[in-house]
Structure 1
């Protein structure tokens, strides 16, 4: 463990407790702060791995406002820091709230130093493991670039990628929409002997049938109306590299015969031309379709299927990737926050629970879009459940308190809209008193209308 990784920042305004804690953690490099400004200054100077922090800090020593503000700023400046919060005896609500704000763990007063020591030691160990993981990820082979996941299903896919990439075999990638088929195709290319050549991709489902042949094989000048010059197709452009035929299951049946001939003879003939052009290119195909079913239906050539599936790799849907969803969501959050210049550093406990419970029928692409949108819409430092806008996708959450709170908030919002902000009418619609309505507005963080009666 490096010197920085052994640094423990203790944020506590009680001088007696400071001395006691310094003695208890004498084998760590302890730095002390009694308030938020000092804590943030020491955070930037020493970059501690773990922060042990009291919630009651001056000038709000009897409350928690300053403590929560300190947590937010620490995580904003150093999001990987592990914060262990010290709370009052029996103050479970603030302990849970601190975890929701991004703290790692909590310990209640009066402090049991042996228990606290175990929590802090574990926080250091988790920080060290996460740092090692980030380092390994940054130094890993390029096959992992853009691919995140450690589930058994993904490890199986990794192993196949590593085996097949150095060969010249044609690879068929199977997977639902959004599972990352093009990302894996690029990984095959980067690990192959053709890595210095071009990677060219064409989506067979996105190009009209009348144009797809010209896009693949090219055309000669005057081959058809609008062909004003000789144009090389995607196959020629991928010479000495890799060509990805995405959504090959949607390729027109008539064009499949010409593709089969190319795969067998490795020559192309441009539209309107008579010259056979030899090409050296590696082919990767991808589809979300059930190709054997298409063969049975007479929509896909069986001989072509055997040509494109020398090695078949199935990419698992997100719902089958146990443990991968939360790391992916955090990765997309970091990317989106950097891209949009937003100081968003994590998810609330409710949001993370909803993310892991969602079926993600659009797989990784849907998750990335949801997180990207939530980062743009986020009002605070963390993404909350409402900002994810999962709708029915979050319906698997079984926390009854959360369900009641969400339903209560939606009802108040609808009543505010229907009553035009008139709080007397809102209270009448909801069947509650005005004082109760005021309490509920505060509880759910809803703004009181400016022209409220």
Structure 2
């Protein structure tokens, strides 16, 4: 029981207080909740092993057996969680019905403390023994993939991943920057028949012409000036497994021709060698370039598009994912609470509204940045709307786009920083404290940058 996390849901505050006092020294975590409407928010944010659930609440459901309703909801979304029903003596028949609908046990109030502890201990032991046995491979993989989302568009995406992952089809993953294309590639690998084999990722868009062949196909000693020993390329390293080529839309036509040859022949020739090496890989590719742009043969070879795109997967931008924004925000809040040893309790309603109203041009990556910064800078026990500040870089890029200018075209890093500083100061009408807070700087640091850029 020392490792157990328990949620108690009952609208009797005296009962909640008594249970919390009893269980606090005996379990890892005890959470009490008087309102059943908050059950799923609590389950999303905490790794709960067991739920103690009352049979009746003063709610709008008015069925006389609200406990059965909430039991069904919990078991449908969290089948691994053990649910123990709390019932009055006169409602034992309902408690027996709950056992048929998935409850682990029930306890009649008022109870003896020893009886309650024995019931919880038995349920926790059963949970440990059955943990993982009733999960399908897909469920296990989904936990590892950490693809968070319950919106309809994400359910469609999950379905498509489940459909194509066990095949050998080459997959092209399309989506804006920051949408999580890398996570989709990992999910495809983990749910594939090659899941136990190697997964190799290469950011091909960052490879220069001279490094492209050496990195992907390998080289022999003496093949060029710095080739002091034989080196295996990424294709060979991924042999038998999955090769993920990220930012494939940014490679040159010459690089495309070399890549096409390898994919057609399923063999590589290392630099400095004439001996081809057979490779067996499952190819995943990703790009933020729209498919229409890839169809332009002056930019991308059409025959290569067909080769890498047996099936395409479009990753939706965050602005189209509705309820997932708050779900992801809570996920990042928990993550950064642990990372920075904070204890932020959640988001206030105005903060939630601010998140829902924003369009997130930087997608999930921008949301993650905003929540991390809020956790670091917030001074209250919960996140307020004033704690949530969105990326000044994304906002500056949006402003440039509205003016018809390419975002940060031909600008140096210093010019980008100067623009971000100046924009923040103008937005707050010269209020240095607010501008510094948005930029994640101290007032002194902001003053130094103002002096540096003569602002």
Q: TM-score range by the shorter chain?
A: 0.5 to 0.7
Distance, in Å, in 1 between the alignment partners of 2:342 and 2:186 is 30
Name the counterpart of 1:8. Answer: 10
Q: 1:120 to 1:147 in 2, by over 3 A?
A: farther
Name the counterpart of 2:302. Answer: 302
Q: 1:41 to 1:372 in 2, by over 3 A?
A: same
Give the deviation of 1:208 after TM superposition. Answer: 2.4
Tell me, what secondary structure is at the counterpart of 1:259?
helix
Distance, in Å, in 2 between the alignment partners of 1:379 and 1:268 is 57
Deviations 1:401-430 (A, max 9, x none): xxxxxxxxx98994999xxxxxxxxxxxxx
Distance, in Å, in 2 between the alignment partners of 1:228 and 1:217 is 16
Note if 1:327 corresponds to 2:327: yes
Distance, in Å, in 1 between the alignment partners of 2:429 and 2:208 is 50
Structure 1 residue runs of 5 or longer lacking an equivalent are 13-30, 53-74, 82-112, 395-409, 418-453
Name the counterpart of 1:315. Answer: 315
Note if 1:142 corresponds to 2:141: yes
Q: 1:220 to 1:9 in 2, by over 3 A?
A: same
1:119-158 equivalences in 2 (<5 Å): 129=73, 133-134=77-78, 140-144=139-143, 145-158=145-158
CA contact (8 A) 1:50 1:123 kept: no
Q: 1:131 to 1:353 in 2, by over 3 A?
A: farther
CA contact (8 A) 1:169 1:310 kept: yes
1:258-277 equivalences in 2 (<5 Å): 258-277=258-277
Name the counterpart of 1:27. Answer: none
Deviates more, 1:377-386 or 1:218-227: 377-386
CA contact (8 A) 2:20 2:32 kept: no
Bigger Rg, which one? 1
Name the counterpart of 1:64. Answer: none
Q: 1:354 to 1:415 in 2, by over 3 A?
A: closer
Tell me, what secondary structure is at the counterpart of 2:10?
strand
CA contact (8 A) 2:220 2:273 kept: yes
Tell me, what secondary structure is at the counterpart of 2:344?
coil
Aligned to 1:41, which of 7, 13, 21?
A: 21
Deviates more, 1:188-197 or 1:137-146: 137-146
CA contact (8 A) 2:294 2:302 kept: no
Tell me, what secondary structure is at the counterpart of 2:284?
strand
Distance, in Å, in 2 between the alignment partners of 1:174 and 1:243 is 16
Tell me, what secondary structure is at the counterpart of 2:206?
coil
CA contact (8 A) 2:16 2:32 kept: no
CA contact (8 A) 2:366 2:390 kept: no
Distance, in Å, in 2 between the alignment partners of 1:134 and 1:207 is 44
Name the counterpart of 2:385. Answer: 385
Q: 1:131 to 1:346 in 2, by over 3 A?
A: farther
Distance, in Å, in 1 between the alignment partners of 2:371 and 2:264 is 44
Q: CA RMSD in A?
A: 3.6
Note if 1:354 corresponds to 2:298: no
Give the deviation of 1:274 after TM superposition. Answer: 0.9
Distance, in Å, in 1 between the alignment partners of 2:46 and 2:429 is 35
Tell me, what secondary structure is at the counterpart of 2:205?
coil
Q: 1:5 to 1:125 in 2, by over 3 A?
A: farther
Name the counterpart of 1:84. Answer: none
Q: 1:270 to 1:79 in 2, by over 3 A?
A: closer
Distance, in Å, in 1 between the alignment partners of 2:193 and 2:380 is 47
Deviations 1:93-116 (A, max 9, x none): xxxxxxxxxxxxxxxxxxxx9669
Name the counterpart of 1:241. Answer: 241
Q: 1:261 to 1:120 in 2, by over 3 A?
A: farther
Give the deviation of 1:293 after TM superposition. Answer: 2.1
Deviations 1:183-207 (A, max 9, x none): 1111111111111111100112223
Distance, in Å, in 1 between the alignment partners of 2:432 and 2:249 is 50
Structure 2 residue runs of 5 or longer lacking an equivalent are 1-5, 36-41, 49-56, 82-131, 396-426, 435-455
Give the deviation of 1:42 after TM superposition. Answer: 5.0
Aligned residues: 322
Q: 1:288 to 1:338 in 2, by over 3 A?
A: same
CA contact (8 A) 2:8 2:16 kept: no
| TM-score where L is the length of structure 2 | 0.62
1:373-412 equivalences in 2 (<5 Å): 373-390=373-390
Tell me, what secondary structure is at the counterpart of 1:264?
helix
Q: 1:114 to 1:315 in 2, by over 3 A?
A: closer
Tell me, what secondary structure is at the counterpart of 2:172?
strand
Tell me, what secondary structure is at the counterpart of 1:283?
strand
Tell me, what secondary structure is at the counterpart of 1:232?
coil
Distance, in Å, in 2 between the alignment partners of 1:387 and 1:119 is 41
Deviates more, 1:180-189 or 1:117-126: 117-126
CA contact (8 A) 1:266 1:278 kept: yes
Aligned to 1:51, which of 18, 30, 34?
A: 34
Note if 1:170 corresponds to 2:170: yes
Give the deviation of 1:141 after TM superposition. Answer: 3.2
| TM-score where L is the length of structure 1 | 0.63
CA contact (8 A) 1:49 1:124 kept: no
Deviates more, 1:244-253 or 1:138-147: 138-147
Name the counterpart of 2:366. Answer: 366
Query: Higher RCO, 1 or 2 (CA under 8 Å, sep at least 6)?
Result: 1
Distance, in Å, in 1 between the alignment partners of 2:31 and 2:64 is 12
